[in-house]
Structure 1
Amino acid sequence: MRIFIETLGCEKNTADSESAAGILERAGHEIVASPTQAEVIMVNTCGFINDAKEESINRIFDMAEYKKNGGILIMSGCLSQRYGEELYEQMPEVDIFLGVNDYKNLPRILEEHKNGRRDKYINTYEKVYMELGKRKQSKPSYSAYLKIAEGCDNICTYCIIPSIRGKYRSRKKEDILAEAKELAENGCKELILIAQDVTAYGKDLYGEYCLAELLRSLCEIEPLHWIRLMYCYEDRITDELISIMAEQKKICHYIDIPIQHGSDVILKSMNRHSTRDSITNTIKRLREAMPDIHIRTTMITGFPGERQEEFEELVAFVEEMRFERLGVFSYSKEEGTAAALLKGQVREDVKLKRKDWIMSIQREISLECNQKHIGETLEVLVERREDDGSYTGRSIYDAPEIDNEVIFTSTRACDIGTFVNVKITDAFDYDLIGEVEEEK
């Protein structure tokens, strides 16, 4: 069958979709680039917050328009796992509902599916990490996400992910290294480690946190040039982890830490294990070890119980920490979470006003951070050539799709997926401007 896969949501969904594509290809199916070519359309959905759920539902309706006579529409992923039973009754357009634990069974599911019949496969998670075989990459081969664990044990009061993805299951180190080597052999130069909590890696499997040890082994894979860390919890950023980040040239001086707030009252209500003081101390340790490190984080405004006092604490915290990269979400009240039952729910207009206020502060901080790069030469990964002949890429300080870009000119052709040295000549709120340095 000709199958089109569309992925919504986070990088973990991207990895799942690539695994599903690999499974389907090995079973003899063809992955196509457009829904107009497809006999089967699969939308891998996100069910994390209300906006993501709405986007997923709308996209399903869009894709239903492409169904040909006898065509099959599949809803997979977090939204299907979370609401599959209800959506089965409400969305007759969908032929198959597939949870996050059923991708390995896709070939059999398609083989057994009968025209006119509707099915749902929403199974619970397995107790160990489930290997799905070689992925078919949907992104350029020079950059790849590598999932090192599944599930989450943190039980933050606002988050539904543990109910969807299950308990934390680390992937065996040998399986991670085998996939990393294969990706590198196929041209991967930037490896981005992902999980719901990257810093928890190994505790369930080996009895201790093993991220630093894993990184040391990954750095030995010769073709890899950059290794990037996403989703690191502050309370598990150990001295050993900081040390190996500072020592190993391949590990980007970049770290993504979802901090969420700057008020101890709100952090406690969120069931976070960090405090304002512990976060401040960890940021200090990171910056002392790597003065050039760029820290990405996220904040939530309007969490239940966030009075003006707690919001002002958040504002002061953002101004004090001066994070190089920061995103803000307004709190989304999710059924099935403890936070949805808390008193002191904040009005929607107040949540959004507070979000906009934090982002206005961050724009100034981001511009100031970017201006510090003027006159520097940064190594840049070339990602595309623009119509005007200029190029766009990313520095070591930026993850794909969510962070800044470097826009630059060159007197010689630059190949996509290669590294060039770019002298920064100007800076905006979120992007840098530069020109390739001439080879001597």
Structure 2
Amino acid sequence: MNKSVYIDTLGCAKNEYDSEVLLASLIEKGFEMIDSPEDADILIVNTCGFIEDAKIESINHILEMGKIKGEDKKLIVCGCLSKRYHDELLKEIPEVDLFAGVNEYDKLPDIITKLTSEQSLEFEEIDIVGDEPSTSLEYNKRNLETGVHSAFLKVAEGCNNTCAFCVIPVIRGPYRSKKLENVIREAHDLASKGVKEIILIAQDLSVYGRDLYGEIKLVSLIKELCKLDGIRWIRLMYMYDDNITRELIETIKSEPKICNYLDIPIQHISDNILKSMNRKSSSKSIKNTIDMIREIIPDMCIRTTLLVGFPGETSEDFSELMDFIKENKLDRVGVFKYSDEDGTEAFKLDNKIDDDIKDQRLASIMNEQMKISLKKNKEKIGQIMEVIIDEIDGGSIAESIESSEPIFTYIGRSRSDAPEVDCEITITSDREHRIGDIIKVIIEDAMEYDLIGSEVED
């Protein structure tokens, strides 16, 4: 009888991708994936260790799996937290049978096979957290849930930026691009499985290919992806503004499959804070990039991530950030409070900000962004847009008051919305659809972060 595996994945889309690759390798070894940890023989927790809240969540999930484990199961911990704190975890959580970092996913299937066959393991196999990342990224098979219509595609690993608040280069190593032909091959696999939306991810997507080819190859990559049959939407995420070129934006404009959507995590707008963060951008360069994007594609949806409470952030710095939000009216804004992380340059800085001030600043930005988002959403009332269906709302069918025709309810997203982080659209229709269908919807009502509409004839 095949051994069964349950994977608990925490953190970002890159972790989700890694879990899918690991699971595909395990299935090739004869393991079976199941959705119940209580019924699984192997429990795997793929952890996040980026900020304090993520660390706490990961530890809680490990401890929860430890309670479920009992004597008959094996517990494996991998990912960022395991890489960053494996010495402490070895001492504090003895119920874990195997630790692996972020660079050892390819070793895990063979070791798990040995672990479940009761063969004796050397200590090096029990603690396979290594220091040296792979120098190249290969083509990867992935195990996707049945019916998945939207999927992340990781095109690079690691990061060469040295942002003062970030531990990613320490955890995941230097930037390594995946060969263009390997990315295309993986995308072809996704299309063959019915995926209609591909979301390109990397720690910094905007420099894809420079380490391999001596020049940035993102434009070449997305042009090749646009040739794939079956793929309807291509979305670009995690783009640093200093490498967003006019050529890239013109390409997005000219290729109908590429969504008018860019995720640009600027973090701040004050030059004082940007310099202290060791960011390559300046206030002027960020604003110039936004102006260039909107000049070429006026309806480009721009998403950003901001960090408040960085050491030394004055009230003047924060006011500058608030003014930027009010003046530029970005479409999507996520805000995080600075987390003091050992191993980063910011950890050594003085003038730390009190938590209550961080909370106030985060709330101020989100309150302002809520007003901006509501206004932008109301402007969409009456517009007809393409929407991809993510959910059938409870699978329920309501009867129309005016007629005996059934009314179906769906939850979907427009091209301006990435899954899980952006707006949802509640749709009514007299037609029956499947998850992943792309339909035309007229927007009839708007809230701060969500829309309501109904399907219209093509």
Q: Which position in structure 2 is the counterpart of 1:247?
A: 254
Question: Which letter maps to 1:293?
Answer: M
Q: Which position in structure 2 is the counterpart of 1:367?
A: 374
Q: Which position in structure 1 is the counterpart of 2:423?
A: 404
1:104 is paired with a residue whose SS is: coil
Q: Which position in structure 2 is the counterpart of 1:220?
A: 227
- State the distance in 2 between where 1:132 and 1:36 align: 33
In the alignment, structure 1 residue 131 sits paired with structure 2 residue 138? yes
2:437 pairs with 415, 418, 432, which one?
Answer: 418
Report the CA distance between 1:103 and its aligned residue.
1.0
Q: Which position in structure 1 is the counterpart of 2:21?
A: 19
2:127 is paired with a residue whose SS is: strand
- The verdict on how the C-alpha distance between 1:414 and 1:252 changes in structure 2, with shifts beyond 3 A counting, is same
Offset from partner CA, 1:282-323 (integer Å, 9 cap, x none): 111111111111100010110001011101011111111111
- State the distance in 2 between where 1:155 and 1:416 align: 41
Question: Which letter maps to 2:55?
Answer: K
Give the 5 Å matches for 1:350-389: 350-387=357-394, 389=397
Q: Which position in structure 2 is the counterpart of 1:100?
A: 102
> Which is further off, 91-100 or 143-152?
91-100
- State the distance in 2 between where 1:258 and 1:178 align: 28
CA contact (8 A) 2:140 2:186 kept: no
Question: Which letter maps to 1:15?
Answer: Y
- The verdict on how the C-alpha distance between 1:242 and 1:139 changes in structure 2, with shifts beyond 3 A counting, is farther
Give the 5 Å matches for 1:34-433: 34-113=36-115, 114=118, 119-131=126-138, 133-138=140-145, 140-387=147-394, 389=397, 390-433=409-452
What is the TM-score normalised by the length of structure 2?
0.94
- State the distance in 1 between where 2:444 and 2:20 align: 38
- The verdict on how the C-alpha distance between 1:177 and 1:83 changes in structure 2, with shifts beyond 3 A counting, is same
What is the TM-score normalised by the length of structure 1?
0.97
Q: Which position in structure 1 is the counterpart of 2:400?
A: none
- State the distance in 2 between where 1:289 and 1:140 align: 36
CA contact (8 A) 2:204 2:240 kept: yes
> Which is further off, 85-94 or 232-241?
85-94
- State the distance in 2 between where 1:210 and 1:120 align: 37
In the alignment, structure 1 residue 5 sits paired with structure 2 residue 7? yes
Offset from partner CA, 1:344-394 (integer Å, 9 cap, x none): 110111111110110000000111111111000110001111135421001
1:87 is paired with a residue whose SS is: helix
2:339 is paired with a residue whose SS is: coil
- State the distance in 2 between where 1:186 and 1:120 align: 35
1:48 is paired with a residue whose SS is: coil
Offset from partner CA, 1:177-229 (integer Å, 9 cap, x none): 01111111111110000010001101100000110111111111121100000
CA contact (8 A) 2:103 2:134 kept: no
- State the distance in 2 between where 1:185 and 1:125 align: 34
CA contact (8 A) 1:23 1:133 kept: no
- State the distance in 1 between where 2:112 and 2:255 align: 46
Question: Which letter maps to 1:135?
Answer: R
* Runs of 5+ consecutive residues of structure 2 not aligned to the other structure: 398-408
Report the CA distance between 1:67 and its aligned residue.
1.0
- State the distance in 2 between where 1:72 and 1:366 align: 47
- State the distance in 2 between where 1:230 and 1:342 align: 30
* Runs of 5+ consecutive residues of structure 1 not aligned to the other structure: none
- State the distance in 1 between where 2:271 and 2:146 align: 39
Question: Which letter maps to 1:433?
Answer: I
2:137 is paired with a residue whose SS is: coil
CA contact (8 A) 1:80 1:99 kept: yes
Question: Which letter maps to 1:62?
Answer: E
CA contact (8 A) 1:18 1:138 kept: no
2:256 is paired with a residue whose SS is: coil
Identity of aligned residues (%): 48
- State the distance in 2 between where 1:304 and 1:35 align: 41
Report the CA distance between 1:139 and its aligned residue.
7.6
2:272 is paired with a residue whose SS is: helix
Question: Which letter maps to 2:190?
Answer: L
Question: Which letter maps to 1:430?
Answer: Y
Question: Which letter maps to 1:405?
Answer: E
